[in-house]
């Protein structure tokens, strides 16, 4: 069990290292761009090079599990090495797995990632609430017990998600807002920040969600390659941007394979975020 809650550790990491999450996404196109083969050897070289270059200075690393799972058991073994390398260098690890199921199946997913003795144990995971927010209870309970975090998909930027996420219930509340409200109830009274976060695309319209009182971190993917900028974060999240963890993947990873170039790219993004978000925080 972690000595401090995930919310406390994330707050400290963002203060010490800056508000940036970098995705470790071994997409086949990126492997080719780095001159690596599209096999498990290329996967290992790519993932470990990026992790070793960034884990000592970035607050959060976010491996995308699917790109490792695609290589079977050998790919999962590489993922285990990535997690260990990141932890040793002091980065928090948010595993992007988007798990969402019911009953014993969700409990098994929870044991795989949020238990202290699990080979794939990480600081936090992404989960999907679209089988009902109550289906996440095993993950929420286990994360609280072990001092880990959960990021719940709320309002994603992909067009296919609009139909479900913007649908309204009988009371007029959108599905996305109902998820935010459920997360807020989980985080009531927790200091300095709750352990249950949400995922909100950095390109959504600012009027879509009410985040005041949510009291948890907001993972905001879409920075860089998907078109979002630091200015967009201020526009979308306003004063609440202090709890936002912007995420960038391809826009930083494309600078590899040189470790120094990867670190410089991450530093440039982080400096831009600090400059813009500090202005917002002073409003």
- CA 226 to each of CA 57, 105, 245, 247: distance values in angstroms, whole numbers, following the listed order: 23, 33, 16, 11
- CA 19 to each of CA 8, 14, 217: distance values in angstroms, whole numbers, following the listed order: 14, 5, 11
Active site residues: 98
What's the chain's Rg over C-alpha atoms? 18
The whole-angstrom separation of Cα 45 and Cα 37 is: 10
Q: Is residue 161 within 8 Å of 133, Cβ to Cβ? A: no
Q: What is the DSSP letter of 64?
A: B
Q: Is residue 199 within 8 Å of 154, Cβ to Cβ? A: yes
Q: Is residue 195 within 8 Å of 227, Cβ to Cβ? A: no
């Amino acid at each position: 069990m972690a000595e401090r809650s995930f919310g406390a550790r994330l707050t400290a990491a963002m203060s010490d290292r800056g508000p940036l999450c970098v995705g470790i996404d071994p997409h086949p196109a990126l492997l080719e761009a780095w001159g690596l083969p599209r096999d498990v050897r290329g996967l290992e070289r790519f993932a470990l090079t990026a992790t070793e270059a960034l884990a000592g200075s970035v607050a959060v690393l976010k491996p995308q599990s699917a790109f490792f799972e695609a290589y079977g058991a050998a790919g999962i073994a590489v993922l285990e090495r990535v997690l260990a390398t990141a932890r040793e260098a002091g980065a928090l690890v948010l595993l992007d797995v988007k798990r969402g199921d019911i009953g014993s199946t969700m409990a098994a997913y929870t044991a795989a990632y949020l238990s202290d003795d699990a080979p794939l144990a990480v600081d936090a995971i992404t989960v999907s609430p679209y089988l009902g927010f109550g289906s996440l209870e095993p993950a929420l309970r286990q994360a609280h017990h072990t001092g880990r975090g959960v990021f719940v998909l709320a309002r994603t930027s992909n067009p296919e998600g609009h139909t479900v996420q913007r649908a309204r219930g009988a009371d007029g509340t959108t599905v996305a807002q109902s998820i935010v409200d459920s997360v807020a109830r989980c985080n009531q009274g927790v200091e300095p920040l709750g352990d249950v976060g949400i995922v909100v695309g950095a390109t959504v319209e600012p009027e879509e969600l009410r985040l005041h009182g949510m009291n948890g971190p907001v993972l905001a993917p879409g920075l860089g390659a998907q078109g979002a900028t630091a200015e967009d974060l201020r526009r979308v999240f306003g004063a609440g941007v202090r709890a936002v963890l912007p995420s960038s993947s391809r826009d930083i990873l494309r600078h590899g394979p040189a470790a120094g170039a990867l670190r410089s790219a991450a530093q440039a993004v982080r400096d831009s975020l600090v400059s813009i978000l500090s202005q917002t925080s002073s409003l």
